[in-house]
Amino acid sequence: MEPPTGPPSGPYDYDLLVIGGGSGGLAVAKEAAGLRKKVLIIDLADSSPRGTRRELGGSRLDLDSVRKLLQQTSLLGKAIEDCQNYGWGLKVPGHGWGELMEAVQELVNSHSLELKRELKRCGVFYLGARGEIVAPHTVEATDVNGMKRRLTAETLIIATGDRPQFLGIPGDRQCCLTSEDLLSLPHPPGRTLVVGGSAEGLECAGFLCGLGMQVTVLLQPDLLSGFDQRMAQKIENHMAVSGVDFLYHYLLTKVEQTEAFSEDVISGDSETRSQQISRGRLRVTIISKEGQSKQEDFDTVLLAVGRKPSTSDIGLECVGVQCSQGTGRILVNERDRTSVDHIYAIGSVQHGRPSSTGLSVHAGTLLARRLYRGDSVLCDYTNVPAAVLTPLEYAACGLSEEKANLTFGEANVEVYHSHYWPLEWELPARNKNSCYVKVICNISDHERVVGLHVMGSNAGDILQGFAAAMKCGLTKQQLDSTVGIHPGSAQVLCSLTQTQRMSEALMMRGNC
């Protein structure tokens, strides 16, 4: 719904103005409008350096939807291989990359259109422009044609989200793709170097490998930083067995094109479809920690080295909103308020907090209720569940084993664990020792469950209910007294008896 042009009915044009179209900002806006507040969202769907257009809802919302589809694409190929063991005489057909990418783009565009319709139904005004704070309570909006207008609001929300990060090396912006760009490639990426051991990088690597492509992961800087490292190593091992190559102790220093031609970008709108990208063989230069340099050729180089907040050009310094010098993300208090009383931040622009679409929506809804309904409920940023959609999925809630040991002391931490074999994998005799769970308990607090980790099919769905139980203070005794559903994978969590201490002791005896 286009914003009105007439004079305001009060001291400000709007009660609430949201800068950015991230999922948290959308949630604040819709909830506030439902509480009869006059709300405006200012968001410009800009493009990546390679020309990939971003849609309303933030890049993370698009990627969260698409990454599940990409995982499913990979899993379907494996499922067709298993069909013969179930009596179906099917063979894996060739995969149609172009058809998949067109379907993905249609989905992203339809999500964006539906979001705009939903905002209109809720009574939220929307302006496709870049927003910049130029004075207290005042935002200057600049549209795609350069036209400017100033708008005022009693309360401002920053929900500009984040963007894929580049390395600042020769050729990275010109030759490399990000996960956003991957979803608009008109051709299969071929032999691919994935730079970065982030969840985003491993998901892309697993998806491409599942489609039969040759994939190498350059672990720069770490493998699944922030996640449980034993679980991360198990994911790495499974991916390596599946055919993904890993490069250790190297840094990417240069990417250059050895041959090139142009090709159209796939996109849902005719304007972006006419854009072209360079395609050709890429030569990468990597250097080891010892200073040894080597070169190798790839068809595609995909950067997944983290994300940086979109906070540098929206006027925060003009009104004194404080950001972390290290991350560039906005400092907020427990009420999501910045250093300026009438300005709040939500979602991945916040410093020092976990970030996911579900969390941003939840936090945004609670913020609107505190602002306009008199509620006092704060968002709980602990025990936030997360999933890594690698072909063998990983889901986690609570502390990693490393963090638990630091928090409570290793002597006070008990880790129960087990491998398991999903029933549906038994007929095709697939990956018997791949699926794995572990439950981390604080011994000194009645074996309270402080971390729960699942690696296996549909791990995120398995974990969801246990995450709710952890919010209620789940203990190991309560977990043991829960009846497991048979047959089903989740029942393994209700019958854990082996601890890591016991396993390690057995291994030591075996070595003796």
- Taking the C-alpha atoms of 244, 250, 256 and 259 in order, what is their torsion angle to the nearest 10 degrees? -40
d(CA 60, CA 162): 8
215-223 β-sheet, strand order: 245-247, 215-223, 192-197, 300-303
Please tell me the pTM assigned to this model: 0.90
pLDDT of 429 reads 87
Contacts of 434 (CB under 8 A, 6+ apart): 234, 238, 392, 419, 455, 456
Q: What is the pLDDT of residues 113-136, one digit of tens each?
A: 888 899 999 999 999 999 999 999
Long-range Cβ contact pairs of 107-110 (< 8 A, separation 24 or more): 107/65, 107/66, 107/69, 108/55, 108/62, 108/65, 108/66, 108/183, 108/268, 109/55, 109/268, 109/269
Cα distances (angstroms) measured from residue 147 to each of 2, 21, 42, 47, 150: 15, 20, 14, 19, 11
- Measured CA angle at 147 (ends 144, 149), to 5 deg: 120
pLDDT number for residue 104 = 87
Cα 100 to chain centroid distance, Å, stands at: 21
- C-beta separation of 56 from 124 below 8 A: no
Q: How far is CA 334 from CA 175, 319, 337, 370, 377, in A?
A: 41, 21, 7, 12, 10
Quote the CA–CA distance of 90 and 95 in Å, as a whole number: 14
pLDDT of residue 274: 39
Residue with tokens 């698409």: 66
Q: How confident is the model at residue 430 (pLDDT cuts 50, 70, 90)?
A: confident
The domain ranges of the chain are: 14-163+308-372, 172-305, 392-511
- What does the block give as tokens for 205? 């690597």
What local confidence, expressed as pLDDT, does residue 22 receive? 87
Q: At the topology level of CATH, where does 392-511 sit? A: Enolase-like; domain 1 (3.30.390)
Contacts of 243 (CB under 8 A, 6+ apart): 209, 215
> Which residues touch 49 (CB under 8 Å, ≥6 apart)?
166, 173
Spelled out in words, what is the top-level CATH class assigned to the domain 172-305?
alpha beta
The pLDDT tens digits of the residues spanning 354-367 come to: 988 899 999 999 99
Residues 6+ apart with CB under 8 A from 370: 335, 376, 377, 378
Facing residues of 442 across strands? 413, 448
User: pLDDT of 364-391, one tens digit each?
Assistant: 999 999 999 999 999 999 999 999 999 9
- Computed on alpha carbons and rounded to an integer, the radius of gyration of the chain in Å comes to 24
Residue type, 346: I
Q: Look up tokens 């499913």; give the residue.
A: 72
Catalytic residue among 95, 111, 453, 486: 486
Other Cβ atoms within 10 Å of 230 Cβ, number: 16
Give me the mean pLDDT over the 239-260 stretch. Answer: 92
Question: Which H helix or E strand runs over 307?
Answer: strand 307-309
Phi-psi region of 345 (alpha: psi -120 to 50; beta: other; left: phi over 0): beta
Once rounded to an integer, what is the mean pLDDT over residues 425-449? 93
Is residue 286 within 8 Å of residue 251, measured between CB atoms? yes
Q: What percent of the chain has pLDDT over 70?
A: 90
Residue range 314-353, pLDDT digits in tens: 999 999 999 999 999 999 999 999 999 999 999 999 999 9
In this model, does residue 101 exceed pLDDT 50?
A: yes
Crossing angle of helices 23-34 and 357-372, rounded to 10°: 30
Range among 58-67, 254-263, 291-300 rated most confident: 291-300
User: How confident is the model at residue 46, as a pLDDT?
Assistant: 66
* DSSP codes of every residue in 435-481: EEEEEEEEGGGTTEEEEEEEESTTHHHHHHHHHHHHHTT-BHHHHHT
Confidence of residue 272 (pLDDT cuts 50, 70, 90): very low
Average of per-residue pLDDT across 178-183: 86
Q: How far apart are CA 490 and CA 485, in angstroms?
A: 7
Q: Where are the beta strands (DSSP E) in 59-147?
A: 125-127, 130-135, 138-142
Closest CA to 171 of 231, 113, 257, 107: 257
Structure token pair of residue 439: 């439950």
For the stretch 150-173, pLDDT in tens is 999 999 999 999 989 999 999 999
Residues 247-278: b if buried by 16+ CB within 10 A, e if exposed: beebebebbeeeeeeeeebbbbeeebeebebe
What is the number of alpha carbons within 13 Å of residue 383 lying toward its C-beta? 19
Residue 250 has pLDDT above 80, yes or no: yes
DSSP 8-class letter at 397: E
Is residue 238 part of the annotated active site? The answer reads no
- The first and second tokens of residue 368, run together, are 């609107």
What's the rounded Cα separation, in Å, for the pair 450 and 244?
Answer: 32
Cβ-based neighbours of 373, under 8 Å, separated by 6 or more: 35
Q: Could you tell me if 170 and 256 are in contact, meaning their C-beta atoms sit under 8 angstroms apart?
A: yes
Spatial contact of 32 and 40, defined as CB atoms under 8 Å apart? no
CATH topology of domain 14-163+308-372: FAD/NAD(P)-binding domain (3.50.50)
Same fold across 172-305 and 392-511: no
Nearest to 482 by CA among 229, 473, 491: 491
- CA gap 452, 32 in Å, rounded: 35
Per-residue pLDDT band for 259 (boundaries 50, 70, 90) equals confident
Q: For residue 88, give every residue at least 6 positions away whose Cβ sits within 8 Å of its Cβ, in sequence order, or none.
A: none
pLDDT at 63 over 80: no
pLDDT at 221: 76
